[in-house]
């Protein structure tokens, strides 16, 4: 018996990274998943890996309400109903407050914040019709603590925590639990420029590290992490556990919040960050 036997969950941003690992874990736990993304080739590959009896892929631009309706329709057509949602899709842009173009700010809001809103708006009635279920929204460490050069990103992730709390209050009587995950530095294409050229980071690796160091996040020398190392070497200075997190570690939290293990939990943000939010080491 799996923890998600009989469950059907829509996962946005599921072509790679956290979303793909959530899809794999949910399928392994007996669930059926609809993977949504704009990276069609990669999304189709993950769905094929899991098998048609467990997974389907749909093109999902989370900014578009019609795409959300299509994803919900596919879930019901393929698997009979839908009783879970993981709002995972998001983008990251680094820029200082005073140099952030308005168009860039709105782009991040459209994907991260409006996309999450549309997911809940579209899926909540379907989940209620299925007899209740769960919604898990992906926020961020940056929603709980400030981080230089992330005005747009942090604003949207803080908004997701706020929407999660409101939605949990409105939907509790309908049998729907709503919680948020707040990942710290997770080694995916979005947070590690070495993973993919379309990671959403406008800056190259050295520029990202230097920007963090100049903002006070590094050693203060302005050199950032060791140039011959990975971002893990940089984050090891900030995170008590000494490393970036792995997508599967976030997926396990998503599973907990989507299954009966968390049956009396709703409206809460859960930090998964290796201890980063606990404080800053001076040693």
With CA atoms as reference, report the closest residue to 134 among 266, 22, 37: 266
C-alpha–C-alpha distance, residues 222 and 216, integer Å:
9
> What gap in Å lies between CA 209 and CA 205, rounded to an integer?
6
For tokens 């749909």, name the residue: 58
Q: Bridge-partner residues for 181, per DSSP?
A: 138, 270
Quote the CA–CA distance of 204 and 21 in Å, as a whole number: 26
Q: Which residues make Cβ contacts (< 8 Å) with residue 223, sequence separation at least 6?
A: 209, 210, 213
Least Cα distance to 141 among 116, 160, 165 occurs for 160
Quick check: 212 and 270 in contact, CB under 8 A? no
Whether 153 is catalytic: yes
| 206 neighbors 224 (Cβ within 8 angstroms) | yes
Q: Counting Cβ atoms within 10 Å, is residue 103 exposed (0-12), middle (13-18) or buried (19+)?
A: exposed
| Stated length of the chain | 283
Q: In angstroms, rounded to a whole number, what is the distance separating the alpha carbons of residues 206 and 174?
A: 49
Go through 24-41 and write b for each residue having 16 or more CB atoms within 10 A of its CB, e for each that does not: bbbbebebbbbbbbbbee
Token pair for 255: 């599973």
- Comparing CA positions, the residue from 75, 70, 60, 88 lying closest to residue 7 is 75
Q: Which one is catalytic: 57, 141, 153, 235?
A: 153
Give the residue numbers annotated as catalytic, written as ranges.
Answer: 153
């Amino acid at each position: 018996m799996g923890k998600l036997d009989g469950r059907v969950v829509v996962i946005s941003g599921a072509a790679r990274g956290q979303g793909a690992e959530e899809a794999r874990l949910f399928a392994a736990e007996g669930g059926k998943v609809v993977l949504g993304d704009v990276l069609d080739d990669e999304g189709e590959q993950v769905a094929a890996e899991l098998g048609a009896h467990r997974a389907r892929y749909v093109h999902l631009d989370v900014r578009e309400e019609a795409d959300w309706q299509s994803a919900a329709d596919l879930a019901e057509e393929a698997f009979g109903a839908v009783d879970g949602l993981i709002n995972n899709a998001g983008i990251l842009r680094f820029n200082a407050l005073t140099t952030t173009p308005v168009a860039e700010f709105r782009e991040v809001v459209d994907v991260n914040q409006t996309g999450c809103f549309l997911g809940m708006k579209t899926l909540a009635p379907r989940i209620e019709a299925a007899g209740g279920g769960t919604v898990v929204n992906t926020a961020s460490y940056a929603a709980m603590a400030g981080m230089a050069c992330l005005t747009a990103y942090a604003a949207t992730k803080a908004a997701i925590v706020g929407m999660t709390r409101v939605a949990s209050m409105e939907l509790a009587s309908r049998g729907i639990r709503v919680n948020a995950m707040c990942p710290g530095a997770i080694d995916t294409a979005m947070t590690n420029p070495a993973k993919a050229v379309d990671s959403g980071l406008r800056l190259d690796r050295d520029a990202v590290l230097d920007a963090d160091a100049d903002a006070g996040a590094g050693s203060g020398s302005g050199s950032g992490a060791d140039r011959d190392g990975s971002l893990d070497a940089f984050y090891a200075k900030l995170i008590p556990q000494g490393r970036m997190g792995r997508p599967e570690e976030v997926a396990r939290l998503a599973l907990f919040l989507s299954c009966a293990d968390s049956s009396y939990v709703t409206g809460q943000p859960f930090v998964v960050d290796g201890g980063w939010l606990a404080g800053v080491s001076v040693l």
